[in-house]
Chain A
């Protein structure tokens, strides 16, 4: 009964490929997020969706495209992967956008070779 589940857990792929990461939450939360954690452990927000609507889109290359088919799902598609995209990507959800505790998924470790 994982609250926020991400797949896959690990992803190793070559430069130039396109890949997707999926996220689902069963907490009934209204808001979902994608965060990127680099090798120095900095956690940086990428996107935020509230009830399927995009509300935050940080300065992220347009090779990254989030999609939220319903409020329980937020997927991340990445086109033309680059070496610098290697990081851990965390999905998270919360009840009230930015003002209540976030529940994080276990992360997807993306390695671009």
Chain B
């Protein structure tokens, strides 16, 4: 089955530093979604990217979809302690009505 890998698995940054997580698939994706899960919480939908090369911004968060639609990234500028959590990408190939979640990147931010 389709696998969606994320790197890194874990990142620890100091507040104010930037952070990036990468999502890679071996197959072409019809779209990609990003979610954030706070410790002890549930995944919360952040954004969906559909077009090749698409870039979307939400305040300090920048999301990119690769030209070949096989990878994506989430970049956080000047992290804050409120950014702590696990970030998941999730992808649907379009051939099945199933969203496959990536392995997640856990972000820890300290003062």
Q: Do A and B come from one complex?
A: yes
Q: Please report whether the interface of chain A is mostly helix, strand, loop or mixed according to DSSP.
A: strand
Contact residues in A for B92 (Cβ distance below 8 Å): 98-99
Tell me the nearest residue of chain B to A56, going by C-beta: B98
Any A CB within 8 A of the CB of B25: no
Count of chain A residues with a beta carbon within 8 Å of a chain B beta carbon: 24
Q: How far is the CB of B103 from chain A (nearest CB, A)?
A: 7
Interface, chain B (partner A; CB < 8 A): 30-31, 33, 35, 37, 41-45, 48, 86, 88, 90, 92, 94, 96-101, 103-104, 106
B48 touches A100 (CB 8 A): yes
Name the B residues within 8 Å of A55 (CB-CB).
97
| Residue contact A56 to B97, C-beta cutoff 8 Å | yes
Give the complex CA separation of A43 and B103 in angstroms. Answer: 8
A residues in contact with B48, CB < 8 Å: 100-101
Q: Which residue of chain A is the closest to B88 with respect to CB atoms? A: A43
Judge whether A56 and B96 touch: CB under 8 Å. Answer: yes
Quick check: which of A18-26, A60-68, A77-85, A103-111 contacts chain B, the rest being far away?
A103-111
Provide the bound-state CA to CA distance between A67 and B45, in Å. Answer: 25
